Structure 1
Amino acid sequence: MQLDKIDARLLDLVQRNNRLSSEELGAKVGLSASGVQRRLKRLRSGRIIEGDVSIVSPKAIGRNLSLLVLISFERDRTDIIDSFKRAIRKMPEVMSGFYVTGPTDFVLLVTANNLEEYEHFTRCLVHENPDIKRVESMVVLDRVKAGFTLPMASIACW
């Protein structure tokens, strides 16, 4: 899908605040409200916009612990990797999961209420996956920056 300067500006605005009205967006990008709605519909149907979400504070709901979890497998087989990908998509504790290069196979961002809950999570994870060779955990001390905002300058200058 071809994106222009207006698409880039709309994407920048809605990824920072998806509660702006079509009228507010239109005023900022120089389009009518209906023009904004048409573009947003096209961006959603083209899967440029993958979803509209609210970011909830983990601490506000008692998720006081965040961890980066490095997973390494005994063998690098496609069926093992695909099975693990499917499994982590179903785990509500896994906020993000990445299949990576290097000495580790996966990096997960995991949340828990406390260390006991995390211990239970890791026991289940390892028990359910006999091909896991190593699990390394790093406790997040401070969430310095969190978000999903992508830089739009590379698409079009405005």
Structure 2
Amino acid sequence: MDGLDKIDRKILKLLQEDGRITTVDLSDKIGLSPTATSERVKRLFRERYVTGFRATLDPQKLGRGLLVFVEVSLDKTTPDVFERFAEAIRRSPEVLECHMVAGGFDYLVKTRVADMAAYRHFLGDVLLSLPGVKESRTYAVMEEVKTDGLLPV
């Protein structure tokens, strides 16, 4: 089906939990030699099961404590409007994620800003000025309940 065995899945789980784990520590946890473990990890990268690593930063310490989700509806749902919006959103550093969705609106945007005043600036000067935006609905996050983002493997 997906070409992964039990050991591959354990490697993926451990790498998600700690991307800086050494090959020796990883090999101890999965019960293979460091060489065999290294080969498996290289294959998982080569086959794009693992697409990269990055540091997880503390948004509070970086002045981005307010997490906001925004529903965005476009004035038209044509390929050219979708493409212009997507191009503009990719250039916006304030946008952490943006997903085209099925349902009552077109896109779900995730952003982090300092506070509500900064969000008001982002909404008016950035988001609502993007091509094709008709309306938006804002959801400010009061509590982050689960944020680990680990995929079940």
Same fold, TM exceeding 0.5?
yes
Give the partner amino acid of 1:118: Y
Aligned equivalents of 2:85, 2:35: Cα separation in 1 = 43
Question: Bigger relative contact order, structure 1 or 2, given CA contacts below 8 A and separation 6+?
Answer: 1
Following superposition, the deviation at residue 33 of structure 1 comes to: 1.4
Aligned equivalents of 1:86, 1:147: Cα separation in 2 = 28
Following superposition, the deviation at residue 147 of structure 1 comes to: 2.3
Q: Which runs of 4+ in 1 moved over 6 A?
A: none
Give the partner amino acid of 1:136: R
2:41 matched residue in structure 1: 40
Unpaired runs of at least 5, structure 2? none
Following superposition, the deviation at residue 69 of structure 1 comes to: 0.6
Aligned equivalents of 2:108, 2:37: Cα separation in 1 = 37
TM-score (norm 2): 0.91
2:84 matched residue in structure 1: 83
Following superposition, the deviation at residue 136 of structure 1 comes to: 0.8
Specify the SS of the correspondent of 2:71: strand
Following superposition, the deviation at residue 90 of structure 1 comes to: 2.5
Give the partner amino acid of 2:27: G
Per-residue CA deviations over 1:127-155 (Å, capped at 9, x if unaligned) read 232x1111111100011111220011xxx
Specify the SS of the correspondent of 1:28: helix
Specify the SS of the correspondent of 1:27: helix
Specify the SS of the correspondent of 1:57: coil
1:127 matched residue in structure 2: 129
Specify the SS of the correspondent of 2:61: helix
Unpaired runs of at least 5, structure 1? 153-158
Give the partner amino acid of 1:149: L
Number of residues of Structure 1 aligned to a counterpart in Structure 2: 151
Following superposition, the deviation at residue 50 of structure 1 comes to: 1.5
Residue range with higher mean Cα deviation, 43-52 or 104-113: 43-52
1:24 matched residue in structure 2: 25
Specify the SS of the correspondent of 1:95: strand
Aligned equivalents of 1:83, 1:3: Cα separation in 2 = 38
Following superposition, the deviation at residue 104 of structure 1 comes to: 1.1
For 1:43-54, list aligned pairs within 5 A: 43-54=44-55
1:5 matched residue in structure 2: 6
Q: 1:39 to 1:87 in 2, by over 3 A?
A: farther
Following superposition, the deviation at residue 57 of structure 1 comes to: 1.6
Give the partner amino acid of 1:128: L
Once the two structures are aligned, what percentage of the paired residues are identical?
A: 31
Aligned equivalents of 2:37, 2:87: Cα separation in 1 = 36
Aligned equivalents of 2:100, 2:30: Cα separation in 1 = 37
Aligned equivalents of 1:40, 1:90: Cα separation in 2 = 33
Following superposition, the deviation at residue 37 of structure 1 comes to: 1.7
1:139 matched residue in structure 2: 140
Aligned equivalents of 1:46, 1:148: Cα separation in 2 = 21
